[in-house]
Chain A
């Protein structure tokens, strides 16, 4: 499998891209509150990304009409920002965003509460976030890719939640999507061996109910089939000969 190994220069550019994206998401998290529309969040996201001299990765990607995917409650991913979609107290909202800095992409996602949420929703968000960290314990040189996948699934299912099967993580670099695909559940084989210099976007998507999803008529928004809540957590990481480096952090 042709997974690209990034040069020192490329890694430095992705590090910068990741740092900027982390700052974008941090600022947006503070901006989210009851009464705000997802359109307003997208507008603010676009302003922040361009103020850093970057380009939003998602805008016009395969025709996607916004700079950020905003998915609420039972929406899993690819929610299209809209003036009609007003956030309410008790919602959970996933912000999935990418930036291009000097030709290099980073990709990250966070699910956050809007006002006061239920304990079950809090648990879903925290388990999804932690499943990423359980996965990256295996994101080291010499390990195999699908060890990450298995670790994520095992952790998530131990809490009675399910991992979405139809959507996966991916390699990333000068393209938003590069090899390999990174499922969040156990595979029949171990997958390719990891090597220093690989850059991966690992993104568990976790449903409170069953793992089945379907696409809405807008051809973008993915929702849980049983209407249960869904959370998403993603970072772009660099494989090293030691611990993986999370590039999308401040």
Chain B
């Protein structure tokens, strides 16, 4: 079973459909998402798992920073940007 914290996701439903986030916490079938920009670490977005598309557990260093609670919004923003570039290259 894979952990969700640190996973990159895309919003499936809602006004933010298509936006990428990182999961920083979970509670039952809900996840708490940040993008380091509009949804920051002190204001994460709560979403139901059904409303997100999982993109994968991508970055062990980011995961470590999230778990140790010393991740910054800038790092989240950068990590999402890198993921988007990487996925474009892979295509």
A: residues with CB less than 8 A from B are 1-2, 57-58, 60-64, 69, 77-78, 96, 98, 107, 165-168, 170, 176-177, 179-181, 183, 187, 191, 212-213, 215, 219, 222
Contact = CB atoms under 8 A, between A and B. Distances in A.
Interface string B21-63: 0000010110100000000000000000110111111101001
B1 A167 contact: no
Interface residues of B, number: 25
A165 B58 CA distance: 7
A187 B52 CA distance: 28
Contacts, number: 69
Contacts of A1: 64, 68
Contacts of A57: 1
A219 B1 contact: no
A78 B60 contact: no
Main secondary structure of the interface of B (DSSP, over half): mixed
A77 B28 contact: no
Contact of B53 (A176, A183, A215): A215
B5 A177 contact: yes
A63 B48 CA distance: 10
B1 A176 contact: yes
A13 B88 CA distance: 46
15 contacts: A1-B64, A62-B4, A62-B26, A62-B49, A63-B29, A63-B49, A96-B1, A165-B56, A166-B55, A166-B57, A168-B57, A181-B57, A187-B60, A191-B60, A219-B52
A132 to B, nearest CB: 17
A170 B60 CA distance: 10
A57 B1 CA distance: 9
B6 A62 contact: no
Contacts of B16: none
B57 A167 contact: yes
Contacts of B64: 1, 179-181
Interface in B57-76: 57-58, 60, 63-64, 67-68
A177 B3 contact: yes
Contacts of B5: 177
Given A62-B26, A63-B28, A166 B56 contact: yes
A181 B1 contact: no
A107 B1 contact: yes
A69 B60 CA distance: 24
A77 B58 CA distance: 16
B2 A64 contact: no
A25 to B, nearest CB: 14
